[in-house]
Amino acid sequence: MLGLRQKLSLGFGGLLVIIVLIGVQGIRELTELGPSIDVILRENYRSVLACQHMKEALERMDSGTLFIVLGNEQVGNEYIANHARDFEKALQVELNNITLPHEGEKANLIRNLFTQYKETIHALSSPGLSSGAQRDLYFTKILPLFQQVKNTAEEVQQMNQENMSEANDRARAKAAAARQRMYVLLCAGALLALGFIYFTGRWVLRPITRLIDFTDQVARGNLELVIHSSSRDEIGQLSEAFNTMATSLREFRRSDQAKLLRAQRSTQQAFNSLPDSVALVDLEGRIEVATETARETFGLKPGALIQHMSGAWMAALYNDALASGRAVEGKGDCAVIQYFLKGEEHFFRPRAVPILDNEKQPIGIVLIFEDITQLRQQDDMKRGLISTVSHQLKTPLTSMRMAIHLLLEEKVGALNDKQAELLIAARDDSDRLYHIVEDLLDISRIESGRVKLDCKAISPRAMLQPAVESLQSAFRDHGVTLKVKVPDALPAVWADRTRIDHVVSNLLSNALKYTAPGGSVTISAQARNEWVSFSVDDTGKGIPAQYCNRIFEQFFRVPDEKSEPGAGLGLAIAREIVEAHDGTISVESSEGTGSTFTFTLKRADTFLQHGEVT
């Protein structure tokens, strides 16, 4: 029985024989057609061109002769001399390209006649020859010689053209015969090729198709198939190898399933020991593994789809991490999630972390719900303590400030210079302490929700104007340019004018404080969907990148700015005020080039159907 190699060799060998036969025959036909085409292009075409050039040169010489007869001897001689050289060049080409019988005799005749023609033309310019004698010489001798030379050249040209036509007919006949032979060869080759293709498909393609179907079934997990093959060639051996592979895969699957089950149980036990609620989600949004707290608290049971969970925020968090390929946290109202477990209030901070393969592509998402209940309780205790201490400090501090002011006014007696200096320092420190207590009380009231915002619809330019006007002189004194880029056509915002004025004043004061003379501060605004965004951009020294995310924390100050006055509460209060308006505040800074503080406020038309702008 033939093997696969022999079968393929037979099929492709037959096609090779057909290709060789057709190629050899084609080369033979082209070889035979070549000389015929060469005769047309090489042997006769030169003679035709040479005769044509001779006739044209002869015509020009005849024109020169007429110029002489008419009395313009100089022009006529120039014409004759120039074109006589052209005629002789063409005649020499013809004499060197004699290819037909009797063509040499006629070419020599042209040469002899042309010699006589030139001698007779020279006689036309003899001294003392009258114009009448010139005309008689032209019509009796020159013109007949002209006609003889021209007619002879015409005969040579006609001989070569007729030979070219005959050669062309012979070439066409050979081409037609070659075309018929090629048709026969092509038909025979096509029939043989079809036969080879049929047998090759039967011997090779059908068994390979069965193997492809088998591999598709194996890819779908069906390992119970067996390939039946009656041949003993390489395809038959490959079929037996596939059967052996399927048997081995069945055994491996049984052992792998046991290993996978053990791994899943170990993973589940490891997950259950984690302190936070954690769930592993695949790319289809199906939960694979989840800790016990994640199952009980958030309903993240293995096999469930994340899209079907209660609350769209969980699916949105998953989709954001999957799309960005990086860890994301909840934003806005979803930054912290409140749940009641067994009657107790708990707070969770959700986070989604993608699992990346070697090519940095996500292969799954880990959802982490960090229990921050204790942190919230500690924050509440800290805020309560700060509020209590601030209230307790305010009354005695007020008394101290009043006493210091009375002493400085010398209501109770005169002061010497040293006493006055000490009291002025005490007054400044007490005023600074009083402002810190007031800021702490403001933060406490805003965080506890005890501050009622008096929000109205107000145009952005009118809202910014008081803070800008109050600080305009300070900017001039420091040599810093204050620019306002707020279009009049901006939509009104919904805001408490007094509170937002505190935010704007704080941002402008900070920008002025950290901008050197000659610099500039720009306050601008632009509408963005349902929000109006305000930016304060300065050309100051900027904020180091590692501190940008802490700049809004209470009592935080950049380490190298301890010499500047302040307790680090201004930006914390600004953040509380903006967030109380449901807005956001952020900072972008590059050390050495300046900072940009941005906060957003809701457009008034999202709250009112008919609002009056103040």
20: its two tokens: 């060789």
Q: Which residues are within 8 A (CB) of 499 and not within 5 positions of it... i.e. 6 or more apart?
A: 453, 577, 580, 581
For range 359-378, the mean pLDDT: 76
Q: Where are the beta strands (DSSP E) in 387-441?
A: none
Nearest Cα residue to 332 out of 305, 308, 315, 350? 350
Helix spans in 203-286 (H) = 206-219, 234-272
Higher pLDDT, 90 or 248: 90
pLDDT at residue 526, as a whole number: 92
pLDDT at residue 4, as a whole number: 54
DSSP state of 332: G
95: its two tokens: 């004499």
Which of 58-62, 102-106, 605-609 comes out lowest in average pLDDT?
Answer: 605-609
Higher pLDDT, 208 or 303: 303
Q: Please, what sign has the CA dihedral across residues 84, 89, 95, 101?
A: negative
Q: Which residues are within 8 A (CB) of 368 and not within 5 positions of it... i.e. 6 or more apart?
A: 276, 277, 278, 350, 351, 352, 353
107: phi > 0 → left, psi -120 to 50 → alpha, else beta; which? alpha
Kindly tell me if the per-residue pLDDT of 585 is higher than 50. Answer: yes
Nearest Cα residue to 457 out of 285, 610, 578, 241? 610
Q: Which residues are within 8 A (CB) of 55 and not within 5 positions of it... i.e. 6 or more apart?
A: 150, 153, 154, 157
- Are 154 and 127 in contact by the 8 Å Cβ rule? The answer is no
Using CA atoms, how far apart are residues 414 and 87, in angstroms rounded to an integer?
138
- In one-letter notation, the amino acid at residue 274 is L
pLDDT at residue 372, as a whole number: 75
Query: What would the pLDDT profile of 237-272 be if each residue is shown by its tens digit?
Result: 677 777 777 777 777 766 665 565 555 565 655 555
Higher pLDDT, 154 or 613: 154
Using CA atoms, how far apart are residues 273 and 195, in angstroms rounded to an integer?
71
Kindly tell me if the per-residue pLDDT of 612 is higher than 60. Answer: no
Using CA atoms, how far apart are residues 446 and 569, in angstroms rounded to an integer?
13
For range 210-225, the mean pLDDT: 72
What is the maximal distance between C-alpha atoms in the chain?
158
Dihedral angle of Cα 399, 403, 405, 406, to the nearest 10 degrees: 130
Kindly tell me if the per-residue pLDDT of 224 is higher than 60. Answer: yes
pLDDT at residue 613, as a whole number: 47
- Are 44 and 156 in contact by the 8 Å Cβ rule? The answer is no
73: its two tokens: 């001897």
Query: What would the pLDDT profile of 297-343 be if each residue is shown by its tens digit?
Result: 777 788 888 887 766 778 888 888 888 878 887 776 677 777 777 66
Kindly tell me if the per-residue pLDDT of 87 is higher than 70. Answer: yes
- Are 271 and 289 in contact by the 8 Å Cβ rule? The answer is yes
pLDDT confidence band for 484 (50 / 70 / 90):
very high
Kindly tell me if the per-residue pLDDT of 568 is higher than 80. Answer: no
Place of tokens 């901008």: 515
Kindly tell me if the per-residue pLDDT of 481 is higher than 90. Answer: yes
Kindly tell me if the per-residue pLDDT of 234 is higher than 90. Answer: no
For range 546-568, the mean pLDDT: 68
Higher pLDDT, 510 or 291: 510
Pairing of strands 531-538, 277-281: unpaired
Query: Quick one: which H or E segment has residue 590?
Result: strand 585-590
- Are 547 and 590 in contact by the 8 Å Cβ rule? The answer is no
Query: What would the pLDDT profile of 330-355 be if each residue is shown by its tens digit?
Result: 776 677 777 777 667 777 778 888 88
Q: What are phi and psi of 236, to 5 degrees?
A: -60, -40
Q: What are phi and psi of 600, to 5 degrees?
A: -125, 150
Distance of alpha carbon 586 from its chain centroid, rounded? 30
Using CA atoms, how far apart are residues 224 and 164, in angstroms rounded to an integer?
79
For range 131-154, the mean pLDDT: 86
489: its two tokens: 């056509």
162: its two tokens: 């007729």
Q: How many CA atoms lie within 13 A of 3 on its CB side?
A: 4
- Are 121 and 65 in contact by the 8 Å Cβ rule? The answer is yes
Kindly tell me if the per-residue pLDDT of 610 is higher than 50. Answer: no
State the Cα angle at 49 between 66 and 168, rounded to 5°. 140
Kindly tell me if the per-residue pLDDT of 23 is higher than 80. Answer: no
Query: What would the pLDDT profile of 504-536 be if each residue is shown by its tens digit?
Result: 988 998 899 889 999 999 999 999 888 999 999
